[in-house]
Chain A
């Protein structure tokens, strides 16, 4: 149980375009979803926390208008990188926690974004 999927696993886009990444909890209801970004050889950086049906809470320094997060249902959250630039190239990982096990986060496999 507790499987989280992400789509796409890899995406290459041109500078100035927008990219949407989906995060789904497959067999549980994810009351909270987290979006992380990871640069090579660095730890995960929390970008935002989202609860179903409410606005995401962004970490300091993360641009809300650039990284749009939507948590429309208990099984789906999306991260849209708007007007992507090469410096947005990174590994984006989502995780989800349920009401029953709020202390544990289940991670998706990650999405490698490359902006050319």
Chain B
């Protein structure tokens, strides 16, 4: 079956760095997405990785290792507004998104 695993919840301190991991097992691979979702809102796109390596975009970076079926989202200089759920999703061989359950990130002052 297809499976995406990510931690349910993480806590970090304002100004610090946090890494959210995602492991996946899917039928085919056409890229991995990270989305941010605030409570009561739709997800917003953060990053897309299809090749191995690190993609940096401002305070957010995303890493992919296809051989290990592994990705992480790195958030630097955390701000209170970063408190949200972070969803990992993999595009499978049919270009359908397989979603993880999301990681709720709590930022403390």
Closest to B4 in A: A43
A49 touches B101 (CB 8 A): no
A44 to B41 CA separation, bound complex (whole angstroms): 12
Which one, A14-22, A69-77, A79-87, A97-105, is touching chain B?
A97-105
Contact of A44 with B91 in the complex, beta carbons under 8 Å? no
Count class of interface residues, chain B: 20 to 34
Q: Does B109 contact A (CB under 8 A)?
A: no
Nearest residue, chain A, Cβ from B104: A41
Contacts of B43 in A (CB 8 A): 44, 93, 107
Category for how many chain A residues contact B: 20 to 34
Residues of A within 8 A of B31 (CB): 103
- Rounded to whole Å, the gap between the CB of A111 and the closest CB of chain B is 9
A-B contacts, CB under 8 A, total? 42
CB-CB contacts of B81-109 with A at 8 A, as 1s and 0s? 00000010001000111011110100000
Q: What B residues does A43 contact at CB under 8 A? A: 87, 99-102
Q: Contact between B95 and A103 (Cβ–Cβ < 8 Å)?
A: yes
Which residue of the partner chain, among B87, B95, B97, contacts A46 with CB atoms under 8 Å?
A: B97
Contact in complex: A107, B44 (CB < 8 Å): yes
Partner of B99, one of A44, A103, A108, A110: A44
Given contacts A43-B87, A43-B102, contact A105 B97 (CB under 8 A): yes
- Can you list 7 A-B contacts (CB < 8 A)? A42-B101, A46-B96, A91-B40, A103-B95, A106-B45, A109-B41, A109-B42
Known: A102-B95, A103-B95. 8 other contacts (CB 8 A): A43-B101, A103-B30, A104-B48, A105-B97, A106-B45, A107-B43, A107-B44, A108-B42
